[in-house]
Structure 1
């Protein structure tokens, strides 16, 4: 049980670090968008590269941060039964949801996106605009990163639920779990 808890904590730590890192993109994105607006409407200067960079940052922020959001229960959930459920029933629902919904969807998105991303890398696909960012292949790769990070967090969630059901972890009010001594 200790190695499962260690794996769960490692995945949680990965998504925590990634999430806190990409969160800075929100600040950079706002500053960049503000700069684009000021340049355009005050100085009459346009920058397609800066405009596209906002799209890239937005994509990175939400796609790469999805695992972090799942770690902190930030995704939308139908809370009709879950909110009032016991800790054991919540663990059962989470385990079922990960195994039969989250992981299959992540696998489907990953496998159906693979050729799309590989084809983009094969030609080093870039912006359709001459002065745009010529790294569209990197932007498309974020789809695969999204699937991996979300699936990993789903595995951590399933492990947490399994360990709760086995009595090896005790959840507390702050949604953190602690090993039973």
Structure 2
């Protein structure tokens, strides 16, 4: 793969996750407003709807499962960096490459593989909430697991490309 092709794919994956993060940030605002409304209705007017409460749970799942790839993109994930922070940029690139290849991507492929039948079974039933008055969209909620694994693997590819490009750039200098 040429330098330009790798850079093209890496930037497109990054842009996709940046836009996805912008959408997810609106979900966060909506989640806060819905939670406020639920509290006001419950304690101010003694009213409540299961569907409204479940919608907060759905938004919460979307924020975390769809926002993980962006967190990886901006390097804000949890890292135990006792040694990493003292490494040179070349050593950091190699650690990140091996981390992607040996941890990130295999784990996410495993999640994708293990959850596939689970999600498909939910879609076949058009699974809905077990609660009376709940949202009839449990199958959509479970689909977020697959979207999480796919988006994390896509961002893993972008990270691999980014680190390989950095190594190639260091070697050229």
**Normalising to structure 1: TM-score of the pair?**
0.92
1:161 to 150, 160, 163: 163
Distance 2:21 2:97 in 1: 23
Contact 1:163-1:169 within 8 A present in 2 as well: no
Higher RCO (Cα < 8 Å, 6 or more apart): 2
Aligned residues between the structures = 171
Q: Confirm or deny that 1:3 pairs with 2:5.
A: yes
Shift of residue 82, structure 1, vs aligned partner: 1.2
1:51 to 53, 61, 66: 53
Q: Confirm or deny that 1:85 pairs with 2:87.
A: yes
Question: What residue is the counterpart of 2:132 in the other structure?
Answer: 130
2:107 to 105, 108, 118: 105
Shift of residue 20, structure 1, vs aligned partner: 1.2
Shift of residue 168, structure 1, vs aligned partner: 6.8
* 4+ long deviations beyond 3 Å: none
Question: What residue is the counterpart of 1:177 in the other structure?
Answer: none
5+ residue gaps, structure 2: none
Shift of residue 81, structure 1, vs aligned partner: 1.2
Question: What residue is the counterpart of 1:175 in the other structure?
Answer: none
Question: What residue is the counterpart of 1:20 in the other structure?
Answer: 22
**Normalising to structure 2: TM-score of the pair?**
0.96
5+ residue gaps, structure 1: 171-179
- How well do the aligned residues superpose, as a CA RMSD in angstroms? 1.5
For 1:83, what is the secondary structure of its paired residue? helix
